[in-house]
Amino acid sequence: MTSIPVYRWRLAPGGLATRRQLRALGLRPGGQDVAAQVERPRRRRGPLVAYLYSIEQAKPVRPMTPAKRAALDKANAARRTCPECRRDAGYVIPPSLGMCTACAFPDEQRAA
């Protein structure tokens, strides 16, 4: 087992990037192992850790296909559909309520 290099915040060498930085460049890690990690110290808790990947070994992001787009649209529609009244709420149903606000708070809707 080999250990990976650990760098302090903002002191990582060039050629390495986080997942978000790769995504901004239109890339993805593509199955490569973590090349290094960056640690950002915090006062009262352990450090924040970000994993770094080699930009040279990164692969381009896969394009969105019509089938993926349809599946994503269907999943988002399911998150907006109230299980009680079966209507599209127009927003993502909060998991804490489990239903749209009209069904969760029917008395408040009539009073308004």
Domain ranges of the chain: 6-60, 66-104
Q: What pLDDT is attached to residue 111?
A: 52
Amino acid at 50: A
Contact 80, 63 (CB under 8 A): no
Amino acid at 12: A
pLDDT tens digits, one per residue of 1-28: 468 999 999 999 999 999 999 999 999 9
Across the range 67-87, mean pLDDT stands at 95
**Bridge partner residues of 59 (DSSP):** 28
Nearest by Cα to 15 from 52, 54, 50: 54
**Conformational region of residue 10, where left means phi above 0, alpha means psi within -120 to 50, and beta covers everything else:** left
Task: Indicate if the pLDDT at residue 108 is higher than 90.
Answer: no
Task: Indicate if the pLDDT at residue 82 is higher than 60.
Answer: yes
Confidence of residue 107 (pLDDT cuts 50, 70, 90): confident
Across the range 34-41, mean pLDDT stands at 95
Burial of 64 (0-12, 13-18, 19+ CB in 10 A): exposed
Please provide the average confidence, as pLDDT, over all residues in the chain: 91
- Whole-angstrom distance between the N-terminal and C-terminal Cα of the chain? 64
Q: What pLDDT is attached to residue 106?
A: 83
